[in-house]
């Protein structure tokens, strides 16, 4: 199974491995955690399965959803999309202002997602995003291979 191979690679490089949208798979693989969207498993049920593992929650562009996730002890909050993206259809547009509001109400780490690339990532970091989820720019970049694309983010 590819998940087991990914876990070995992550352990070798001391990187956390989170499974997206599938708590049962995360449990089966003994992953470091999982990320759940608003239409996925409820965080309290996920916590029962995952125990003390990392559980992050999609909050789209909503402080209300963030407050619920905080109340339910999410390990991180994911907001986005901050930019247009070809990876997923953008239903919710997040803003720097939303990021600032979220930072005022919690110390829970915040992940910015959506259309992040070498030209726009610094603005999110300067506005206190704790982590960036960057996939399309790295894996679907027609101008740079993944290793080159990653180097442009330093």
Instruction: Report the C-alpha gap between 65 and 58 in whole angstroms.
Output: 8
Domain ranges of the chain: 16-151
Half-sphere exposure of 67 (CA within 13 A, CB side): 7
Instruction: Report the C-alpha gap between 154 and 140 in whole angstroms.
Output: 19
pTM above 0.75, yes or no: yes
Give the mean model confidence (pLDDT) for residues 50-76.
97
The per-residue pLDDT for range 85-98, each reduced to its tens digit, is 777 777 889 999 99
Q: What is the pLDDT of residue 89?
A: 76
Q: What is the pLDDT of residue 11?
A: 94
Domain 16-151: CATH superfamily is Aldolase class I (3.20.20.70)
pLDDT, mean over the chain: 93
Give the mean model confidence (pLDDT) for residues 47-73.
97
Q: Which run of H or of E encompasses 80?
A: strand 76-80
- Coil, helix or strand for 54? strand
- Confidence band, pLDDT 50/70/90 cuts, at residue 30: very high
- Confidence band, pLDDT 50/70/90 cuts, at residue 44: very high
């Amino acid at each position: 199974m590819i998940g087991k191979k990914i876990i070995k690679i992550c352990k070798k490089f001391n990187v956390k491995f989170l499974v997206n949208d599938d708590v049962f798979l995360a449990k089966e693989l003994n992953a470091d955690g999982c990320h759940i969207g608003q239409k996925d498993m409820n965080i309290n049920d996920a916590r029962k399965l995952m125990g003390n593992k990392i559980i992050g929650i999609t909050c789209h562009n909503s402080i209300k959803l963030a407050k619920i996730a905080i109340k339910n002890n999410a390990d991180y909050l994911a907001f986005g999309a901050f930019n247009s993206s070809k990876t997923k259809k953008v239903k919710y547009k997040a803003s720097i202002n939303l990021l600032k509001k979220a930072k005022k109400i919690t110390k829970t780490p915040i992940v910015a997602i959506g259309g992040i690339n070498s030209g726009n990532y610094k603005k999110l970091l300067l506005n206190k995003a704790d982590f960036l989820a960057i996939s399309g720019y790295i894996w679907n970049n027609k101008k740079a291979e993944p290793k080159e694309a990653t180097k442009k983010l330093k």
